[in-house]
Amino acid sequence: MFGAEHVRVYRETGGERGYRWRGTTILLLTTTGRRTGRPRTTPLIFRPDGERWVVVASKGGAPRHPGWYENLSANPEAMLQIRAEEVPVRASTAQGQGRERLWRLMGEVWPDYDRYQARTDRQIPVVVFQRR
Residue 74, judged by CB atoms within 10 A of its CB (0-12, 13-18, 19+), counts as exposed
Q: What is the pTM of this model?
A: 0.96
- Domains of the chain (ranges, CATH numbers): 4-131 (2.30.110.10)
pLDDT at 55: 99
pLDDT at 36: 97
Give, for 97, the enclosing helix (H) or strand (E): helix 96-109
pLDDT digits (tens, 9 = 90+) for 53-67: 999 999 999 999 999
pLDDT at 1: 64
